[in-house]
Every structure is written in C-alpha cells, then in structure tokens.
C-alpha cells in the first residue's frame, strides 16, 4: 500500500566514498528517464517551470547539440531532444508543460525533418531552423545568433566531451562554441573571427583532440589542454573555477553524449560545472580534494554514470534517505511505540514496550527509502499513526499515508513494503484483541 512506483530507485553512482572527498557534505539527486528523451524531459522540468523558448536538437548524434548551450542561455531555454521524423511523447509533453511558444531547431532536415516542424506548428509553436552544410558551418551560424561576442571557444567537432566541458562557462560569458576538424581551421571559422572583435580564443585540447598546428593559425589564443577528455574537463573547470558556482556539480558520462546534451543547458543556468566521469574517478576525486571543494550538491544526469561502489558514507547527505537518516532516531533509542488506529476508533491505542517487538517494528521502517515531497498532494490511504518515545520523551511520529508524514513533513516513498496486512499481523501479535 505504501509502494510508490518510480522508474528508477536509487543509483548512488559516483556519489560514494570513492568519489566524494573526505569530509564532504553533499546532497544528491538523479535526473533520469527510461530513455534519452525522457531524461531530457526530466532535466528540462527540473530547471524550468515555464519558458517562452526551447532549443530542439537531434537525440542520436551530438554535433548540433554540443554547440547549443550559449544560444539556450541567451533565450533562457532548455535543450530538448527529438527523433528525426517525430517528436517523442516525453519531449512533446514537456513542450506543453513549459508552455513553449518558440522553438529553435538546430540541424538540417536530414537529422530533424520538416515533419517535426509541422508537428510543432500544429500545436501553435513558431519554429526557426539553424543549420549549415556541415557541423562546422552550423556552429558558425549558431555563433552568429549571439550579440556582442568578444571571445570564442574552439573545440573538435569529432567528439562531444570538450564542448560539454566548456558549455556552462561559454554560456555565462556569451562565448560561442566553434567546431573544427582535428587538423584544420575551416575558412568560414576564420571568416567569423575576422568579422568579429574577438579578443580571446580558448582552444581546448591542442596536442590531443586537436592538432597543435592549429594554434598558430589563430590570434589571441589561450590553450586549455589535457592528455585525455577527463583531464581536459578538469582543466576547463580549473581555468574558470572562480567564475563557476561550485556548490552544485553535474555528473554526466564521458563515454556517451546524450544525457549531457540537455544537461549542458541546465548546468549553464547557474554556471555549474559539468563533470565527466568514466570507469575510474580517482582524478576527479583528487582534483576536488586538492582544491578544497568539499561542500556541494551533486546532480547525476541520466542512467549511464557507472556505479563505483555502493557505500554509504556518514559524510554524505543523500536526497533519498532512510527514516532513521531523516529523523536521526535509531532503534536503540526507542523504549515505547504507541500506535493509533486511524479508522474512527475501531481499536484503542496499542502500546508497544517489549524490546523485541520494538526492534521488529523498527525493522519494517528500516526498509523504507524516502525523499522529501516538495509539492505534496493530500495524503491518501491508510492513516494509522505511530508515536515513538525515548522513555517519556516523544522523539518521532509517523502517519502511514502516501505520501508518508514524518514529524509533520511529507515524504515520497521510493521503496518500502510495510502494508496493512503486515501491520495488522504485527499489532495483533502485540494485542490479540486488535481488530483488523
């Protein structure tokens, strides 16, 4: 009766003792869905209650989407994902919920067909398409949508990670992300630089993701380098850490692009870093420790961030918790439980004072995983109430409804199996006169 269905339970992922720096205090949550489109929708609805604009990109490849964050920031818009010929239901529902009236489509009709535009038009949404002959021209066309540009980021168009790494700070600084091949600067990129008063060019990955020879072809260059994508990600964060809000860190997979695409716009809202993670997070852990970054919230984007170990650390304040973690009340603290029947006085209150029975009941509660309900609806279902005492001092009360009410605060039940039948059997074992 108290089970509340969710698509995914808890994935502690890299928010573990292996990953979190010593003495860190972090709250964590996960934005995820059954697929990349549902994840994109979850990310958008976490960051936006309403938006006049949306940015729509192709969900099965990255070149158009990785340049979108600065444009999304200009319009304070989420980045949403679509199929080629049809908008997925999760994306469409989010468009409706956020009351989006203008959609900027990035990419040509080969990746996002005109039928998608027609779908949007049928529900009253104006569309604008930004696209070029290839990803490099498209990045310039998107750059031309930004006003008063004085600096740019140059990254490889052959991978997604460097663009994701720079996306939050690029969005904050109104800095276009221009894509180039590994070993050449396209003429149209050179022309863009010539026509705009560019005083600073950040080149990400010279000598690794880009050829070192490219640097000599560009003016006013500052390099941000690292031997692999994870080191470059940390180098970008380190370069701009004084401008970033490090109280929240977004985690996304460095091996798959899709969840980080929409996450780049969400991270850009407050210029939080996007931290790329893979199989081994030791360098990320060391970076946070060495820079005394030890009090932050973590948001895991999607279901592709791999678990390193499932270890509960007392220094980590998870958003999803057990009841004892929420209340700081343990079984050993309880000397008496009084259970009140919520069915109009059918049974008199039952006092549980036998230590074995107290431990049995607390064992039921230990199976619950709960999360604070931010916008609770009226509770429904079973309304028994239990009040917990440490000798004569009341230390906790629980109303067994859904959402469950603990010390007058509502919590969604992520996991738990204490149903009416189990409760009735327990209460009858305490008092045989109890009527179920």
pLDDT score, position 27:
55
Query: pLDDT tier at 99 (50, 70, 90 boundaries)?
Result: very high
The predicted-structure confidence for 230-254, as pLDDT tens digits, reads as follows 999 999 999 999 999 998 899 898 8
The predicted-structure confidence for 49-84, as pLDDT tens digits, reads as follows 999 999 999 999 998 889 999 999 999 999 999 999
Q: What is the largest CA-CA distance in the chain?
A: 88
What percent of the chain stands above pLDDT 70?
88
Distance from C-alpha of 396 to C-alpha of 400, rounded to nearest angstrom: 13
Whether residue 410 contacts residue 373, with contact meaning beta carbons closer than 8 Å, is answered with yes
Question: Of 363-367, 369-373, 423-427, which one has max mean pLDDT?
Answer: 423-427
Residue scoring higher pLDDT (14 or 354) = 354
Estimate to the nearest angstrom the gap between the alpha carbon of 49 and the chain centroid: 16
Residue scoring higher pLDDT (218 or 341) = 218
Whether residue 134 contacts residue 107, with contact meaning beta carbons closer than 8 Å, is answered with no
Lowest mean pLDDT among 13-22, 62-71, 114-123, 203-212: 13-22
Distance from C-alpha of 328 to C-alpha of 338, rounded to nearest angstrom: 19
CA distances from 5 to 41, 402, 414 (A): 19, 12, 7
Q: Is 210 helix (H, G, I), strand (E, B) or coil?
A: strand
- Domain 323-430, what fold? Immunoglobulin-like (2.60.40)
Query: pLDDT tier at 12 (50, 70, 90 boundaries)?
Result: very low
Instruction: Write out the two tokens for 170.
Output: 């690029």
CA distances from 238 to 176, 203, 219, 285, 399 (A): 20, 15, 23, 14, 48
DSSP state of 333: G
pLDDT score, position 24:
43
Residue scoring higher pLDDT (297 or 433) = 433
Instruction: Name the residue with tokens 């999803």.
Output: 320
pLDDT score, position 342:
77
The CATH 2.60.40 domain(s) of the chain lie at 323-430
């Amino acid at each position: 009766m108290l089970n509340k269905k969710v698509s995914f339970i808890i994935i502690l992922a890299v928010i573990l003792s292996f990953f979190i720096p010593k003495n860190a205090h972090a709250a964590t949550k996960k934005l995820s869905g059954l697929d990349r489109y549902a994840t994109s929708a979850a990310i958008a609805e976490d960051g936006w209650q309403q938006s006049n604009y949306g940015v729509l990109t192709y969900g099965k490849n990255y070149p158009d989407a990785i340049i979108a964050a600065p444009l999304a920031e200009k319009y304070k818009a989420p980045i949403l994902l679509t199929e080629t010929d049809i908008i997925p239901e999760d994306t469409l529902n989010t468009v409706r919920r956020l009351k989006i009236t203008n959609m900027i489509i990035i990419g040509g009709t080969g990746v996002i067909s005109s039928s998608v535009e027609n779908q949007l038009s049928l529900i009253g949404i104006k569309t604008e398409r930004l696209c070029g002959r290839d990803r490099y021209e498209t990045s310039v066309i998107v750059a031309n949508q930004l006003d008063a540009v004085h600096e740019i980021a140059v990254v490889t168009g052959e991978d997604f990670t460097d663009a994701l790494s720079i996306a939050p700070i690029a969005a904050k600084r109104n800095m276009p992300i221009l894509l180039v091949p590994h070993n050449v600067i396209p003429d149209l990129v050179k022309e863009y630089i010539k026509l705009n008063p560019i005083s600073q060019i950040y080149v990400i990955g010279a000598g690794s993701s880009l050829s070192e020879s490219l640097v000599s072809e560009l003016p006013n260059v500052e390099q941000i380098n690292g031997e692999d994508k994870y080191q470059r990600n940390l180098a970008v964060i380190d370069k701009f850490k004084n401008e970033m809000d490090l109280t929240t860190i977004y985690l996304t997979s460095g091996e798959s692009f899709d969840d980080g695409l929409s996450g780049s716009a969400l991270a850009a809202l407050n210029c939080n870093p996007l931290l790329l993670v893979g199989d081994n997070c030791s360098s990320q852990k060391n970076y946070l420790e060495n820079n005394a970054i030890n009090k932050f919230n973590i948001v895991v984007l999607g279901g592709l961030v791999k678990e390193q170990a499932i270890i509960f650390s007392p220094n980590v304040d998870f958003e999803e918790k057990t009841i004892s973690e929420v209340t700081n009340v343990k079984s050993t603290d309880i000397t008496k439980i009084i259970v009140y029947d919520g069915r109009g006085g059918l049974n008199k209150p039952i006092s549980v004072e036998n230590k074995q029975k107290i431990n049995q009941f607390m064992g039921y509660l230990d199976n619950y995983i709960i999360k604070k309900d931010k916008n609770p609806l009226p509770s429904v279902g079973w309304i028994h109430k239990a009040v917990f005492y440490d000798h004569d001092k009341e230390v906790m009360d629980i109303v067994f409804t859904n959402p469950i009410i603990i010390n007058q605060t509502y919590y969604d039940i992520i996991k738990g199996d204490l149903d009416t039948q189990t409760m009735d059997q327990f209460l009858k074992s305490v008092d045989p006169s109890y009527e179920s």
